[in-house]
Amino acid sequence: MSLSLDKQFFFKKYGLNASDLEHYLSAALSAGGEYADLYFEYVTTTSLSLDESMIKSAAQGISAGCGVRVVTGERTGYAYTDDLAPERILHAARTAALIASGPAKTPIVDLKENRAHDLYPVAASDAELTAKVELLNRADKSARAYDSRVTEVRASYADELRRILVIGSDGSFAEDVQPLSRFNVAVIARKEDGASSRGSAGGGGRHRFDVFLTEKTPEHFAEEAARQAIIQLDARACPAGEMEVVLGPGWPGILLHEAIGHGLEADFNRKKTSAFSELLGKRVASDKCTVVDNGTMPGRRGSLNVDDEGNPTNNTVLIEKGILKGYLSDKLSSKLMGLPNTGNGRRESYEHIPMPRMTNTYMLAGDDSPEDIIRSVKHGLYAVNFGGGQVDITNGKFVFAASEAYLIEDGKVTAPVKNATLIGNGPDVLTRVSMVGNDLQLDEGVGTCGKDGQSVPVGVGIPTLKVDRLTVGGTGSAD
């Protein structure tokens, strides 16, 4: 191999050398696979949690392993080991190789390092544990000080540092060190009559610890969680039925993630199992809508220098002025579909097969002021915070649940409502977007997306936007 790999983390830590890699890849292609790759991963994690004003839990962990993938046509063989001894990796390679049947192939051993971005600082653990504990104590104090009706406060801090090394039999090679941290506060509030409510807020990303001391402070999250819970104490039943819906900026962008993002992942479209299959070049949104998936934003939770196949991430236009422009692809689907590889091949860990996944998915800002958007609604719902969502990509139906929402009556935001779930149809919900705000925001770094049992961190965002008609699921009367 022409590249000097001696300085790399995995080679030092596990005493591997370049000829070992060649040996493993050869074993992976010993039954004739077209392509093979090795994914080395070493992750350290720290998590701390506070409950009842006590630091009740502190945990740390180390996990490491190697996954071997062999691809032939549409077939994928996969095996992994959490023991990085050479004989264990070889065993995994030979197991994965069985997907193919034919004469052995030889990997390209002239490794070329893939171009990569430089989107985040190298170390997440750039602070003492005591400083992390202090964040939790500050959050507890702040949430309790916000309102005497706040009765329970839980706060948690978690960070990880993930080192990956991906080597492909096509000579591709990439290494990355990915920090990720997250802070979260959850509160419960109670009124004298016994009625309770909950609120939560959190955020983080691939950034330095001191962001939690300057921008994303514990007080910021604690006050936000407490504010939501206090408002919910007086929320009334949500109306049920179709109505105008205004989504606030930021995290409500989960609409895009559920309604269209999953449906545009290339694997579903290659198999024609998505409601968006065959819609490339067609109108799927109003001309006010331009939606991108951008893995190249510095410090964001959904960002990556390279994806988990070693390819640099991109800023991919999915919908441009309402027209479907592209899919999110990985190596396998881009090859089989003859599409560009957008660098969206991601996996939860070395135990998992990569597949097309979102990074940071958001809609570009429009021209309308948020005030004008609200003012234009006679009778509707203003939804500003959400819990989780889900989509059936085949029939396109998606759901997401609002944790903070208000009635809009005669152009004014009025009473808070509880328990509002929104349901719609992915391929046509965006065609009913009639106003797009000038206030694009991304979420604060809380998203985790699940697909086929694999979880990966993602980001979402929208400006304030108005959907002319969406079904709101509540228990109250619609009138």
Partner 1 sequence: MATTTATQLDLREIASNVVALAMKQGATAAECVMRDGTEFSTVVRLGEVETLKESGARALGVRVFFGKRAASTLTSDLSQQGIEQMVRSACDLAKLTSEDPYAGIPDAAQLGQISTDLDLYYNDVYSLSNADRIDYARRAEKAAISADPRIKNSEGGSFDAAIGRKVLANSHGFIGEYQRSYVSVSAVPIAQDENGNMQRDYWYSVSRTMTKLDPPEEVGRIAAERTLRRLGARKVKTQRVPLIFDRQTARALLDHIADSVNGDAIYRHASFLSDKLGHQVAGKNITVIDDGTMVGGYGSSPFDSEGVPTRRTTVIEKGELKNYLLNSYTARKLNLQTTGNASRALAGTPGISNGNFYLEPGTRTPDQMIADVKQGLYVTEFLGFGVNLVTGDFSRGASGLWIENGELTYPVEEITVAGNLKDMLNNISEIGSDLEWRSSVACPTIRIDGMTIAGE
93 binds partner 1 (CB under 8 A): no
| C-beta of 46 vs 142, nearer to partner 1 | 46
Binding pattern for the stretch 47-76 against partner 1, x by CB under 8 A and - elsewhere: xxx-x--xxxxxxxxxxxx--------xxx
Question: Which residue, among 430, 407, 442, has the nearest Cα to 293 in the 3D structure?
Answer: 442
Question: Which residue, among 141, 201, 149, 168, has the nearest Cα to 70 in the 3D structure?
Answer: 168
Q: Among residues 26, 81, 305, 334, which is the contact residue for partner 1, using CB under 8 A?
A: 81
- Segment near partner 1 (CB under 8 A); pick from 110-118, 337-345, 389-397, 406-414: 389-397
Query: Is the backbone of residue 69 left (phi > 0), alpha (psi -120 to 50) or beta?
Result: beta
DSSP for 47-103 reads EEEEETTEEEEEEEEEEEEEEEEEEETTEEEEEEES---HHHHHHHHHHHHTT--SS
151 binds partner 1 (CB under 8 A): yes
125 binds partner 1 (CB under 8 A): no
User: Which residues inside 438-477 make contact with partner 1, applying CB under 8 A?
Assistant: 471-475
Q: Among residues 122, 145, 415, 478, which is the contact residue for partner 1, using CB under 8 A?
A: 478
| C-beta of 109 vs 423, nearer to partner 1 | 423
Q: Which amino acid is at 204?
A: G
126 binds partner 1 (CB under 8 A): no
Instruction: Quote the CA–CA distance of 164 and 43 in Å, as a whole number.
Output: 9
Count residues binding partner 1 (CB under 8 A): 85
Taking the complex as a whole, the smallest distance from the CB of residue 236 to partner 1 amounts, in Å, to: 12
Say which residues have a Cβ less than 8 Å from residue 147's Cβ, sequence separation at least 6.
189, 226, 230
| C-beta of 23 vs 88, nearer to partner 1 | 88
Strand partners, 420: 402
Q: Which amino acid is at 389?
A: G
CB 196 within 8 A of CB 71: no
| C-beta of 180 vs 401, nearer to partner 1 | 401
273 binds partner 1 (CB under 8 A): yes
User: Which residues inside 176-205 make contact with partner 1, applying CB under 8 A?
Assistant: 188, 190, 195-198
| C-beta of 371 vs 392, nearer to partner 1 | 392
CB 343 within 8 A of CB 306: yes
| C-beta of 332 vs 374, nearer to partner 1 | 332
CB 118 within 8 A of CB 297: no
123 binds partner 1 (CB under 8 A): no
CB 446 within 8 A of CB 208: no
Question: Which residue, among 258, 242, 252, has the nearest Cα to 392 in the 3D structure?
Answer: 258
- Strand, helix or coil for residue 1: coil
Taking the complex as a whole, the smallest distance from the CB of residue 284 to partner 1 amounts, in Å, to: 15
Taking the complex as a whole, the smallest distance from the CB of residue 407 to partner 1 amounts, in Å, to: 15
Taking the complex as a whole, the smallest distance from the CB of residue 117 to partner 1 amounts, in Å, to: 29
DSSP state of 311: P
280 binds partner 1 (CB under 8 A): no
134 binds partner 1 (CB under 8 A): no
